[in-house]
Structure formats: C-alpha cells, structure tokens
Structure 1
Amino acid sequence: MRVALLTTTQHGHLNPYIPVVNALRAAGAEVSLLLLSADGGVLDERRRRALGEAEVHAVGQVEMAPWSGPPEKIGPMLRSSPVADLTADVLRATAPDFVLVDSLPVTASAMVGARASGVPYGMIWANLGGVCPREHRRGRWAYDEQLGDYLTEHGVLWSTRTHSARSPILNLMPTIPALVGADAVTDDGVRLVGLPGAAGPRGDEVDFPDLDRLDPDRPLVHVSFGTIFYRRPDLLRTVITGAAATGARVVASVGDLAEELALPADVLTAPYLPQREVLDRADVFITHGGYNSVAESIRAATPMLVIPLAVDQPIQAHFVRGAGFGTALEPAAATERAVADAVTDLLDPARDYRARLRAAQPECGDSAARTAELVVSTVRALPRKEEQ
C-alpha cells in the first residue's frame, strides 16, 4: 500500500504531520511526503531525520502574502498557478493508492491537481477552519468566495457552511468534542480523530537546559507567536512586559528579535523552544492561536490567552474561549494592563480553566495513529484498479 501526504514546508503544517507519516509507516504503508515550498521554505535537517525513511518530493511553490492582499487577485492567481499541473504530474509518477491533502487555501491548486491525477484523495486539516461555521469567518469571506469558485469549477467539493473543501472519500479533522463542541459542522462526513500529533515526541525538538533551573514555586508564563507571525516586536514586547508585571516568570520564543525587544533581565528568551516541554511546566500560555500551539496547550492542560494575528487564528480563539480553555484579546486591545489582567484571571484556580482542560484529557488521543488507521481502512475498501 502506497500513501502520499501533501502539505507545505510551514512548521505549523509540517510538524503535526510528521507523526502521521510515521504512524502510516508503522501501519505498513509506503509513504511519500509531497511538499509545497511556502514562501521559499525548505525541509530542514531535523525534520528530515524525524521523517525517517519516508520519500520526500518537492512539488512547487506557494506564497502566503496574496492571502492578505486584495481578495480579487486570489482567483486569477490560483488559475495561473502551475501547482495543479505539478501536483498531478508527481502523483501520476509516484502512483500512490491514496493521497491525503492538507486542506488550506494555499494548497487549493494542489487539491485540483490531486483530483485531476485520478488518485483517490482525502482531506485533513491543520486548523479548525474545516468545522467552523462560516459566520466566524466573516473577515475571510471575500477570499473564501474566490477559493470556492476556483475549486468547484474544477470539481472539488466545497462546503458552503464552513467555506472549506471536502473529499468525497475521507475528511479528517484532528480535534476533540471538548474543544469544538456542538458548534462544529461535522454532519457532512468530517470525522474527529483527536488532537494533532502524537502523545510522544516528534523527534525534531530542540534543547532548552534553562528550563530545569526555573523556580517551581513561581508561576510560569510561556509566550510564543509561532515561527511565521512572531515578527511584531512592539506587540511582543507589550505582551511579555504585561505578563511579567504579574510577578510570573516569563519564557518567550522570539525568533531573532531578542536584542530588538530589550526585555527585562528576568525574562528568558530563545529563538525556538521545545514548546511541548515548556508547556508541561507552564501555568499560562500566551499564543497567537496557531492550531498546533493550541493543541499542545490543551494536551499540557495549560490555560491560554489567545491573541489572534491573522488567517485561521481567530477561529481557534473562538473555540478556545467557547470551550472555557482560556480567553482572547484582539491585538489592538492587548495593552500591558489588559495582558496582565488576563494572565491574573487565567492563574486564578477558582476560574476552573485548568480543571476544564484536565477533564478533556481523555479525549485527546493519538490522532496520528487514528489517522493512519482510517487511511489504511479507506484504501483497503477502495475498488482495485483492475475493477475500475
């Protein structure tokens, strides 16, 4: 059995799929990873090692910037992109039995290529957009309309209730009922498979020895705006300073901004942190709301302050707040005082944030193993090629 998984080089998309690739291999599948280079990104050596013996194929280039530019340019950009043809060519050349496509706007052309290739395909999500009611996507509607028109004219199914693509065969949402609740749109074939990633390490984590030297009796706040959206020094400085004003110890992932931020000496910073390890120790997580970060915080039972910056992050903020797993602030409202007040609220045991998160732990599961199980059973149920 040969299975392909198509995603981008963005850490927030590639990271949760490393366990999926390895779970598929453990289930006996030959796996190839098809990578779209997002904004010129590449597969770094740590992540390549974590993928083991899986084949890796570069498919083409996609750009993030147009998805924050004029919406009317999205349709023409998608129709002129070579990614659809490149994806179809790679799939025909590698001839997998099934391809699982990371469903997000920048992979839309690849979805069209997957359908054109004739290879059976399924959808999987790296955010909650695939189950989020469309009224919570109002800020993205103009982009969604362009995307929906493009996909439907090429025969890809489109959910108008969530403004997202669908597969006719398999649709997998790595999430849990405790997070998305009754608000989620799942009655059109979407299956919940547990939170992203596996319960254990991915294999590409970095070291952070300072973590062992922290005072265990002092509240710990972790701050991270991810690997793409972190470059907002004024906001990041305000958030870190506000969190530190509560008396908590702050550990922040700041990319290459450490010198520019000029933070108090008591704040620990690093370009990139072993986030899961830090969250296991943290009392509060201040995040931009990337779904990988949200999922890791839920697994660690760490309450969140979500400050959504772009694209799908307001969707995650909506569900986190609705589940009682944390609170949210718009970036414009994130003053030092507002951040300090939010952190103080999240640290208050009477507010039950951590209790709700702990109650959700039995649902978290191992979504990588569950995804592999469903993909393998789906492929086995497909008609054999000689029967088609």
Structure 2
Amino acid sequence: MKKHIAFFVAPYQGHVNPLLPMVADLVGRGHRITCVAAPQFVEPLVAAGARAVEYASVWPANRSVPAEMTAEEMAKGPLQILRENIAVANAAERELAADLPDLVVYDTLLNFAGRALAEKWQRRAAQFIPLLASNEHFSVLQAVASEFPPIDPQHPALLEFGAQLGEFRAGHGLSAPGPEDFLAASEGLNLVCVGREFQPAADTFDARYVFVGPSLADPAERAPWSPPDSGAPVLLVALGTLFNERPDFYRACREAFADQPWHVVMAVGDHVDPADLGPLPPNVEVHRRVPQLAVLEHARVFVTHGGIRSAMESLSAGTPMVAVAQSVELDFTARRVAELGLGVRIARQEVTPEALRAAVRTAAEDPEIQRRVAAMSESVRAGGGAARAVDAIEAYAERV
C-alpha cells in the first residue's frame, strides 16, 4: 500500500544529501513524500520528487563553525536546537494537520518535533541518524564530555531550555518531558548512515537500528570528475561545509605538497577566497567545492575534517584518510579512524606541512592501512545504502 511519509529535515548539507536518494527512491515506488525543510534545501528535495514545506530556520545558513566553543555557547546550544525543533513543528502542523502522514521520519537533531507530533497525531515515527548512533551504552557527546568547557547546570539558558520544552509539549496537549526527551531517543526503526563495523559498541544496538552505511546518489547522477593526464596520485583536501573557514590550514597543505609527487585537489568552501592562499604550485588546484564522490573514486588519500559522512564516503570509495578534526566531537571520528587502522589522525593544534606530508605518506603506503580500508569498504557498502533504507521504511510503514 502506498503511504504518505513526512520527513523532518535538519538544515545541514551533510544531513540533506543522504536523504535525497532515499526520497527519490520512495517517490519512484509510488509513495507521497512531504519534506519539512529550511528554504535553502527546498530545491534539491523538490527535484527528488518531494513536496516541500518551508520553515524559518533559526540556524544561520552557510556558516562556518569555530573550532573552539565557550561554555557560554555550549550552554545556549540545547535551547537553540529546541527553537529549531519548534519552528519545524509549527510549519509541519500548519501544513499537515489536515493531511496527516502515515509515518513521520525525523532527523535525529529534530527529535523534539518528530516525537511530539507523531505522538499528537497518533502516528508512528522513525528516526534518521546521519551520525554515529547513541544509546544507553554509547554516546559521542558523553565520550568527549570531559574535553568540553564545564557548564553550570543552573545556567539560565539551560533552565530556559527545560521550561520551553515543557511548554512546547504542553502546548500540543502532551505529557511533561521524560528521560527519552533528553537522552538518546529510540524508535521502532532507526536508520543509521554508518557502517556497523565503524559504529562503537555496535553489538549493543538491537534490530531497531539498521546500519545502512552511506546513502549515496546513483553513480549515473553524480557530477563527473577526471584525474589529471600526468598520472600523479590524487590527494583530496576538504573540510566539509560547516568547518571550512580555515585559511591557515589550506596554506599549510599548499606548502606541504608543493613540488611533491601528488596532484592536490583542494575544496575550501564559501568562506575562504582561493586568491588569499597565495600563488599555487602547478600540482595544486583550489576550488570552492568539488564533486567529492567523483574525486574520491580516483583519490589515493583523503585529508578530511573528520565528519562522519565524509568518512563513510571515503571508506565506500576505499580511500584511506588523514583525519584532522576541526572540533572536539569530530575528533572522536578522527580517533576512530586511527583506532581501526583506516588512516592517520593529526590533532588540529599539531598541523604543520611536515606533519601533513608524513601522515599522507603513511596513509598511502602502509600495507596494513590499505588492507583494513579495503575490508571496511566492503563492509560499509554491504550496508545497502539508500535502497536498504527505503526497504526498511516501507516494511516499517506497512507494520504500523
């Protein structure tokens, strides 16, 4: 039976991109899809076949996140996330109350809105997790909590968060917030865009968690890219969309690989002018953005910020990494890459041209890294990606 499925979409490129092939596949199978999304993501979602409901995001679009966060910024984070959830819920209720979906699929960052409206509408919900999954046994934030600035639990922003969450649920006729509203939420179906073998404490996640690995666009639909005629090995350098205002890092990469036997493809994003990086050697090309999947298919090594989607894309392509985390939580992924022997980690504070050269050489030449990356690549791709996620959504929608 064909279903009406509503997706609550978080306003981040790395969260939207894996949804696009899933939405397109669901539409192709005859389902009606509504996506509640920030304005900058409406166009690709509509192109995938969804009906889009816009909401006014409280997160600034196209920003670059600083490497360090103060205790004050950390304390305000939960309240800002809640306000984003409230904006999503308001738009969803306005547009969908008279056309209720059969199933709500919410991004893990929008769990307040997703859980509340599913409960109010008496509909079941599924959770979409484009990050490492968390449960009572493992949480990235708990794992790195000691590295964040200490936060006063009586900080006014945290108290306001608790009060507004209670008001939000009460305003929808729901009970007061429970532990599941503050800890890792879990649904009857939780789609995780990570390979199971990469997930820490994987054996503690039950059958409700489906580790599909990266949800990637069909190869025929990806932007093309061809390696240089020189035959030099390709080195991709990219820091994602949220952590890329790092001109000093790009300059260090330029210096590290000038006149080296590499062809360097560097993506610097919208916050750094390529001209500000100085004269480029002939073996280094710099762009604001590149077709990452297509470049990774040819890359010998990937220098990355440690984003989980970038890591999964790299592993899917069988490319070892040099992980230079650009925030505390990303450093967990970087450490995981090193722990599993999938590449080399460099602490952000320890980046030098010499360190970059040595790490890239190790990632490219170490036979054990090559072996482990090949094995993990096979495991990650075996997750099934978008097609398996859609199969799971269809089966779940039929059950509920």
TM-score range, shorter chain: 0.7 to 0.9
The 1:185/1:33 distance shift into structure 2, 3 A limit, reads: farther
Of 130, 140, 143, which aligns to 1:136? 143
Aligned position for 1:166: 186
Deviations 1:44-86 (A, max 9, x none): 75x25641x2211113313268994523324544566642433
- Mapped to 2, the partners of 1:342 and 1:333 lie a distance apart of 12
Cα distance change on mapping 1:157 and 1:276 into 2, 3 Å: same
Per the alignment, do residues 159 and 359 of structure 1 end up closer, same or farther by CA in structure 2, a change over 3 Å counting? farther
Tell me the amino acid that sits aligned with residue 374 of structure 1.
Answer: A
For residues 116-265 of structure 1, what are the structure 2 equivalents within 5 Å? 117-118=120-121, 119-130=123-134, 132-134=138-140, 135-138=142-145, 139=147, 150=165, 153-155=176-178, 157=180, 160=183, 164-167=184-187, 169-180=188-199, 183-184=201-202, 186-187=204-205, 190-198=208-216, 200-201=218-219, 203=221, 205-208=222-225, 211-216=226-231, 218-244=232-258, 246-256=260-270, 257-262=273-278, 263-265=280-282
Match of 1:271 in 2: 288
1:92 correspondence with 2:111:
no
Compared CA separation, residues 74 and 292, structure 1 to 2 (3 A): closer
Pair 1:323-2:337 in alignment: no
How far does residue 369 in structure 1 lie from its aligned partner after superposition? Answer: 1.2
Conservation of the 8 A alpha-carbon contact between 2:115 and 2:125: no
Shift of 1:108: 4.6
Higher alpha-carbon deviation: 126-135 or 11-20: 126-135
Contact 2:191 2:212 in 1 (8 A): no
Partner SS state of residue 177, structure 1? coil
Q: Is the 8 A contact 2:269 2:288 kept in 1?
A: yes
Q: 2:8 aligns with which of 6, 17, 20?
A: 6
- Say if 1:78 and 1:360 are closer, same or farther in 2 by CA, change over 3 A: closer
Residue in 2 that maps onto 1:360: 376
After TM superposition, give the deviation of residue 197 of structure 1 in Å.
1.2
Q: Distance in 2 between matches of 1:207 and 1:346?
A: 25
Q: Which whole-Å deviations, capped at 9, do the CAs of 1:157-213 have from their partners, x for residues lacking one?
A: 2585xxx3322x2212122233225x337435552332121472383x4454xx343
Deviation at 1:121, TM superposition (A): 1.2
Correspondences of 1:372-383 after superposition (within 5 Å): 372-382=390-400
Equivalent position of 1:385 in the other structure: none
1:202/1:319 CA distance change after superposition, 3 Å: farther
Q: Is 2:353 the counterpart of 1:336?
A: yes
Note the aligned Cα RMSD (angstroms).
Answer: 3.1
Contact 2:42 2:52 in 1 (8 A): no
| CA shift digits 1:339-360 (9 cap, x unpaired) | 111011111143x222212223
Give me the whole-angstrom Cα distance separating, in 2, the residues matched to 1:188 and 1:140.
Answer: 30
Q: Which amino acid aligns with 2:28?
A: A
Contact 2:235 2:264 in 1 (8 A): yes
The match for 1:23 is: 25
CA 1:259 to 1:6, structure 2 compared with 1: closer, same or farther past 3 Å?
Answer: same
Are the counterparts in 2 of residues 207 and 274 from structure 1 also a CA contact under 8 Å? yes
Report the Cα offset of residue 259 of structure 1: 0.6
1:377, distance to aligned residue in structure 2 (A): 1.1
Tell me, in whole angstroms, the C-alpha distance in 2 between the residues paired with 1:140 and 1:185: 28
Structure 1 stretches lacking a partner, 5+ long: 383-388
302, 305, 308: which one aligns with 2:322: 305
Unaligned runs of 5+ in 2: 170-175
**Cα separation, 2, equivalents of 1:190 and 1:236:** 42
Question: In 1, Cα distance between the equivalents of 2:90 and 2:259?
Answer: 54
Could you say what secondary structure the match of 2:21 adopts? helix
Larger deviation, residues 71-80 vs 322-331: 71-80
Contact 1:88 1:113 in 2 (8 A): no
Q: C-alpha separation between the residues in 2 aligned to 1:4 and 1:311?
A: 33
Q: Which amino acid aligns with 1:170?
A: L
Amino acid at match of 2:391: E
Q: Deviation at 1:297? A: 0.5
Q: Percent identity?
A: 24
Q: Provide the TM-score with structure 2 as the length reference.
A: 0.80
Aligned amino acid, residue 235 of structure 1:
F
Distance 1:141 1:110 in 2: 28
> Once the 2 structures are TM-superposed, how far is the Cα of residue 112 of structure 1 from its aligned partner?
5.0
Report the counterpart of residue 173 of structure 2 in structure 1. none
Residue 78 to residue 22, structure 1, CA distance change in 2 (3 Å)? closer
> TM-score if structure 1 supplies the norm length?
0.82
Q: Write the distance in 2 (CA, Å) between the matches of 1:142 and 1:110.
A: 28
Residues 212 and 389 in structure 2, CA contact (< 8 A), matched pair in contact too: no
Q: Distance in 2 between matches of 1:220 and 1:13?
A: 27
